[in-house]
Structures are given as structure tokens and as C-alpha cells.
């Protein structure tokens, strides 16, 4: 098994890109501890998908506070005994806030975030997953969440663009960027092995990884 210096790895990317799937695969491979985003427990989420403008602030605030509690619980654990892999980055909350909240709501949200963000543990490595819109939509449909049944393609396209802008400027940790449009790491042990080697080599700056199965 490949040895990792990274003890806390975060996997990020837009809705439907495969964050949780890859997190579980890496946790299994490294016998690691998984930290998973609380999604379906958000009582406002279903209403948000029906009327984003009306329910955006409640939805965003619930996510912010529940993620913060998870992160605080993480502080209480010994991160050096095992690898911890999370399927979300705490800072990503601001991506969603920036495209769902109006100016006044966003200003209030930012005031709350400024008190919480500095108290969150920084990962050793962030893995940013990308995929084309025509790939993301079928993946969202396939997982069968009722509140995502009529997912807004324009919202997802805006979200993907905002993610790209966010990580284009990211410099807080080493960053590994992967386009997953034509690959499923959960389906191929060989592809997962190659990715793990790339993760082990990623020590600083931003690196781009081309999945083994897509190389010419």
C-alpha cells in the first residue's frame, strides 16, 4: 500500500462530480476515516430547489453551521493515527453563498463566516474534481435523490464556473486537479492505483492529473 504523508485530504468539486464515491474508495484503500457532508439532513434543501431565492439563506446557514460543527469535532480527534478524507472543503460553502444569496444576505453570511473560517482545520491536500455538464447531470439523476429530481442545468453550469474560478485562485494548500468526465475511480482498481501514486507525489502548488484510462 502506497505510503502517504498527507494525513488530512479533502475532495471537492461541483454537485454530482463524484466526491463521496472517491472519498469512500480512498478510505477503503488507506483504512482511513471518512468525513462526509451532511446533505439530506438539511430541512430547507427540498424547498430551496423549488424556490432558491426564498430559501437560499436558511439553506446556506444550516450548511455553514452543521459543517462547522463537524470540523470542530474533527479537532478533537487524533489525525496522526490514520488518514482522514473528507468529501467537502469548509471554504466551499462560500462558493454556494456567492451565487445563491442576495447582497444583504451575503454580507451577513460573510460576517458569520469570518468568525468561523479561521477556526477550521486546514487540509494537507485538496483534490479538485471537474466534469462536463453533460456528465454531471446524468450522475445527479442516477443517485436518485428526490429533491434533485428536476435539477436546474443553468444553476449547475454557474456552479461549475464558480468552482473553476475559486480553485484557479486557490493557494492555501497543495491542489490536485482531475477531470473525471471519462473516468470512474470506483470502477477501476488500476485507475485508482495510478491516482494514489499521483496523490503521494503532490507536495506543493497546483498539479493537474490526467486519469490513466484517458491517456492516449
Residues in contact with 109: Cβ distance below 8 Å, sequence separation at least 6, in sequence order: 57, 60, 61, 64, 97, 101
Q: Which residue, among 102, 95, 88, 97, has the nearest Cα to 164 in the 3D structure?
A: 95
Per-residue model confidence (pLDDT) at position 152 = 79
Catalytic residue (choose from 87, 93, 124, 194): 87
Superfamily for 8-214? P-loop containing nucleotide triphosphate hydrolases (3.40.50.300)
Torsion of CA 131, 39, 123, 181, to 10 degrees: -10
Please name every residue paired with 128 in a beta bridge, in sequence order, or none if there are none.
12, 177
Neighbouring C-beta atoms of residue 111, cutoff 10 Å: 9
The verdict on whether 184 is a catalytic residue reads: no
pLDDT at 76 over 70: yes
* pLDDT 10s digits, 117-164: 999 989 999 999 999 999 898 888 877 666 556 677 898 899 999 999
* pLDDT for residue 13 is more than 90: yes
Helix (H) or strand (E) holding 67: helix 52-75
Counting DSSP H helices and E strands in the chain, the numbers are 8, 6
Per-residue pLDDT, 87: 95
Domain ranges of the chain: 8-214
Measured in degrees and rounded to the nearest 5, phi and psi for residue 8 equal -135, 110
CA 119 – CA 104 distance, rounded (Å) = 24
Q: What is the pLDDT of residue 80?
A: 64
> Facing residues of 176 across strands?
127, 207
Take residue 88 and report the three cell numbers written for it. Answer: 467537502
pLDDT at 200 over 90: no
pLDDT in the model for residue 24: 93
Beta bridge mates, 206: 175
Amino acid at each position: 500500500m502506497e505510503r502517504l504523508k498527507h494525513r488530512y485530504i479533502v475532495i471537492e468539486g461541483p454537485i454530482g462530480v463524484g466526491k463521496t464515491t472517491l472519498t469512500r474508495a480512498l478510505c477503503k484503500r488507506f483504512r482511513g476515516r471518512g468525513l462526509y457532508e451532511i446533505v439530506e439532513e438539511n430541512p430547507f434543501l427540498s424547498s430551496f430547489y423549488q424556490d432558491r431565492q426564498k430559501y437560499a439563506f436558511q439553506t446556506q446557514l444550516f450548511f455553514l453551521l452543521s459543517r462547522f460543527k463537524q470540523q470542530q469535532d474533527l479537532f478533537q480527534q487524533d489525525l496522526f493515527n490514520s488518514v482522514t478524507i473528507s468529501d467537502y472543503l469548509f471554504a466551499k460553502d462560500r462558493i454556494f453563498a456567492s451565487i445563491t444569496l442576495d447582497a444583504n444576505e451575503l454580507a451577513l453570511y460573510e460576517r458569520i463566516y469570518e468568525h468561523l473560517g479561521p477556526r477550521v482545520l486546514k487540509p494537507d491536500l485538496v483534490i479538485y474534481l471537474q466534469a462536463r455538464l453533460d456528465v454531471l447531470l446524468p450522475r445527479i439523476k442516477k443517485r436518485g435523490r428526490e429533491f434533485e429530481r428536476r435539477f436546474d442545468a443553468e444553476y449547475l453550469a454557474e456552479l461549475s464556473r464558480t468552482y473553476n474560478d475559486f480553485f484557479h485562485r486557490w493557494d492555501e494548500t497543495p491542489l490536485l486537479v482531475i477531470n473525471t468526465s471519462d473516468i470512474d475511480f470506483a470502477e477501476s482498481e488500476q485507475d485508482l492505483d495510478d491516482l494514489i501514486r499521483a496523490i503521494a507525489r503532490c507536495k506543493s502548488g497546483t498539479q493537474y492529473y490526467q486519469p490513466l484510462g484517458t491517456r492516449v
